[in-house]
Amino acid sequence: MASHVRIIILGTAGAVPSETASLPAIMLHFEGNQILFDCGEDIQRQFLKAGLKFNLPLVICISHMHGDHVIGIPGLLFNFNMGDRTAPLTIIGPRGIFSYLYHLRNDIGLRVECPLEVREIQPDLKVMQVFTNIGDPSLVEVQSIEQNIVFRNKLFSISTMESQHSVFALAYCVQERPIFGTFHPDIAKLKQIPEGPLWKKLQRGKSIEINGKVLDPLMEGIIEPPVRGRTIIYSGDTMLGPDFSVLSPAPDVLIHESMYLTQDAKLAEEKQHSTSQDAARVASKIQARYLILTHRSSRYNDPAAFLIESQSIFPNTILANDLDVLELKKNKVLEKIAKEPKS
Ligand SMILES: [Zn+2]
Ligand SMILES: [Zn+2]
């Protein structure tokens, strides 16, 4: 289990940046692993301002191929190469992501020297094409997608589904692995199981064989049932419609776009974006614990209006601002961490 899960807000503007808000990018920090939702234009400087490391295992989850979400990728990859990055990099995105990288490779000499996988999700969401070299499209393997899962490691899995936007777009869910239930050594002793490797197996929920009998630790009451890990859903750009509970019912955090205020609801529908109240309705419907509003249009002078509108439907709304850091604690409480001033 990860000791801490942090959400580092790198860019909260939609479409065009403002003086105080960069283009979409939100980082999850998961015990030495980074997961980046979208990669807006100012990403390199936001990494620096937030004090993020450039050489940790990183999964970039691209929601869709609109410029405000992908223009930061070449700069970040150039930066990685200049810094002799060695940590693995995985880029997950909709169909079109490989072609984008391939053209950057050919047209501006983009290179990736660290271990790389580009996982391109096909519109049927049943398969992904996995590329390992952005200069060679023939090095590709087709992998099937089971239960929406497109990435998995020891700590978490990432699943995806289609959102509803003007182009093929994806929402993502990061789900921490279930946490093993409490182990009861007294019951293990009572059942005359010797301390040592067998206990370790039981603590991980695995059955053991002792005196010719198979023993299931859960059935025998030696461990408690596993507890669901922390869950974060990222909507990407979307209008009201998709049921994100398909990814995970009752997520701890829903990070949802909120391009418009309710006064521009008609525009939101036309452009296939959401209003702050649409986001609040989704959070309420899927029983999220917290809602973070992001991807806000810079046309409005008063960002607090987004918060007021959303909280009238979903009180646990947080207005994300660039460089905010939030910690999702083990007890699923989300807390804002005071920013450390960077000189
Ligand atoms: Zn956008
Ligand atoms: Zn878009």
- Residue-level pLDDT at 70: 98
Percent of the chain with pLDDT over 70: 98
Number of the ligand closest to the Cα of 64: 2
Distance, CA of 167 to CA of 238 (rounded, Å):
10
Task: Spell out the residues 6+ positions from residue 30 whose beta carbon is closer than 8 angstroms to its own.
Answer: 2, 5, 155, 156, 174, 176
- Residue-level pLDDT at 86: 97
pLDDT tens track for 36-88 = 999 999 999 999 999 999 999 999 999 999 999 999 999 999 999 999 899 99
Give the residue numbers marked as catalytic: 68
Residue 341 clears pLDDT 80, i.e. is over it: no
Mean predicted confidence (pLDDT) in 136-157: 96
**CA 2 – ligand 1 centroid, Å:** 30
- Residue-level pLDDT at 249: 94
CA-based nearest residue to 278, from 291, 289, 290, 205: 291
The overall average pLDDT reported for the chain is 95
- Least-confidence region, from 45-59, 303-317, 329-343: 329-343
**CA 237 – ligand 1 centroid, Å:** 6
Residue 292 clears pLDDT 80, i.e. is over it: yes
**CA 67 – ligand 1 centroid, Å:** 8
- Residue-level pLDDT at 339: 67
- Residue-level pLDDT at 75: 97
Query: What residue segments make up the domains of the chain, in order of their start?
Result: 5-179+231-337, 180-226
Beta-strand relationship, 231-234 and 317-319: unpaired
- Residues shown for the chain: 343
- Residue-level pLDDT at 2: 65
Which residue is listed with tokens 């997520």? 251
Tell me which CATH code domain 5-179+231-337 carries.
3.60.15.10
Residue 343 clears pLDDT 60, i.e. is over it: no
**CA 171 – ligand 1 centroid, Å:** 13
- Residue-level pLDDT at 212: 87
Confidence of residue 3 (pLDDT cuts 50, 70, 90): confident
- Residue-level pLDDT at 307: 97
- Write the ipTM: 0.99
pLDDT tens track for 185-199 = 999 999 889 999 999
User: Hey, what's the torsion of the CAs at 310, 313, 316, 320, to 10 degrees?
Assistant: -10
Question: How many CA atoms within 13 Å lie on the side-chain side of 219?
Answer: 6
Provide the residue type at 124 as one letter: D
The first and second tokens of residue 216, run together, are 């299931």
